[in-house]
Structure 1
Amino acid sequence: MTKLQGLKGLKHIKAVVFDMDGTLCLPQPWMFPAMRNAIGLHDKSVDILHFIETLPTEKERKEAHNQIESVEAKAMKEMQPQPSLVDLMKYLTTIGISKNICTRNLGAPVETFVARFIPPEFSKFDYIITRDFKPTKPQPDPLQHIASKLNLSPSEMIMVGDSYDDMKSGRSAGCLTVLLENHLNGHLVLENKELVDVSVEDLSEIIKLIQNLNNSSL
């Protein structure tokens, strides 16, 4: 069910930015704990990529990246699409709304996912931002970069994700934030409600959301 938190001052929606893991594909809750174990990071409050960046030597940083990439390779083989993924991609393509991805993953899993699960006629994404772009989410920079490239205001974009980082990045950039809620992240609606404009339980709900927003802004 779509839950609206408060949608003031929004403009006509012209672009959507998607997180990938847990958003375009189903959650893989084992993945991040496996990454942390692989690099010896047991403090859940410490960001994985930030931890690697603070390792003292280039050799240690490279080895840690190799370890998490090994976990990501396993996750890539097991990816499954969210229900309604193709319906939403078809809708956005048909009405000419820009599709984009902003992920802290690597490029290869994104390319594999898109090729495997989205029909070619709906698979064009204008910009795909991976963790090679610095700084990553939860900073607003990746979304501001996409908005700039599309010549749009961030207020004309939706950020769709399933994590605190997604919502924080979207809010800081000035986008409409949409949380794809599941059994693992429902606490965000309560604990970080100031970051979440809308929560949905299925990607198909975004179709109706855009229709309502764009019709009301005419």
Structure 2
Amino acid sequence: MSKFSSIKHMRSIKALVFDMDGTLCLPQPWMFPAMRKAIGLEDKSIDILKFIDDMPTEVQRAKAREAIHGVEEQAMIEMEPQPGLRELMGYLTTHSYSKSICTRNVITPVNYFVSKFIPVGFNLFDYSVTRDFRPTKPYPDPLLYISRELGIDASEMMMVGDSMDDMRSGRSAGCITILLKNHVNGHIMTDHKDLVDYPIDNLSEIITILEKINI
């Protein structure tokens, strides 16, 4: 019996939405602690973007945004693609699935990653929704926006990510959720398994899921 032999889903999947950091590219566990340090945020329970948004003056907010941009630029230089990325992107393109990106990053690293690591012909994404879109994940709004623009129901989309924000956003939007497991997110399957429809170890496993759903 295969890993995904019991797959059941009411609707065919027409679109996939991917987180970027830790999903399309390998995790960089140092990045978020470095961002928190750069803006003086010691409380790990406070969201980084909310902390910046709540700063009292625009001067402070601008300075904080500049500080995290510096961290993101270094992370961009050190990006490496996930195993199975090219195989999956090729499959999705040749089988006419819609592909989009939903990230809390900014557009520059998105464009850099797509152009560097995904072959031409397979690297066209319908939408790249960044943190300029508010509210961001974990709210469902970015995914609902993509589904509306595509003219499909959110239940016809997959949200592929590696974090609680990804899973919460996907679940609340009504998408199928796929968790790409790694060495730092095991707590999601332990404590919040209800948010995950399909856990995977490699992006190429999504091909098997799609072939079983879209029979």
Residue in 2 that maps onto 1:137:
137
Question: Higher relative contact order at CA 8 Å, sep ≥6: structure 1 or structure 2?
Answer: 1
2:193 counterpart letter in structure 1: K
Q: Does the C-alpha gap of structure 1 residues 7 and 13 become closer, same or farther in structure 2, counting only changes over 3 Å? A: same
CA RMSD of the aligned region, Å? 1.3
Residue in 1 that maps onto 2:80:
80
Q: Does the C-alpha gap of structure 1 residues 90 and 9 become closer, same or farther in structure 2, counting only changes over 3 Å? A: closer
User: How far does the alpha carbon of each residue in 1:77-119 deviate from its partner, in whole angstroms, 9 at most, with x for none?
Assistant: 0000001100000000000000000000000000000000001
Distance 1:168 1:7 in 2: 21
User: How far does the alpha carbon of each residue in 1:10-64 deviate from its partner, in whole angstroms, 9 at most, with x for none?
Assistant: 3100000000000000000000000000000011110000000001111000000
TM-score, length of structure 1 as denominator length: 0.95
Distance 1:7 1:69 in 2: 41
**Superposition pairs of residues 90-101 of structure 1, within 5 angstroms:** 90-101=90-101
Shift of 1:190: 1.4
TM-score, length of structure 2 as denominator length: 0.96
Residue in 1 that maps onto 2:64:
64
Q: Identical aligned pairs, as a percentage?
A: 60
1:148 paired with 2:148, answer: yes
Residue in 2 that maps onto 1:214:
214
Runs of 4+ in 1 over 2 A off after TM superposition: 6-10
1:188 counterpart letter in structure 2: I
Residue in 1 that maps onto 2:171:
171
Q: Please tell me whether the aligned partners of residues 79 and 113 of structure 2 are also in contact (alpha carbons under 8 angstroms).
A: yes
Q: Does the C-alpha gap of structure 1 residues 188 and 111 become closer, same or farther in structure 2, counting only changes over 3 Å? A: same
Provide the aligned length of Structure 1 versus Structure 2.
213
Q: Please tell me whether the aligned partners of residues 3 and 199 of structure 1 are also in contact (alpha carbons under 8 angstroms).
A: no
- Unpaired runs of 5+ residues, structure 2, are none
Residue in 2 that maps onto 1:40:
40
Residue in 2 that maps onto 1:53:
53
1:11 counterpart letter in structure 2: R
1:99 counterpart letter in structure 2: K
- Unpaired runs of 5+ residues, structure 1, are none
Residue in 2 that maps onto 1:123:
123
1:145 counterpart letter in structure 2: Y
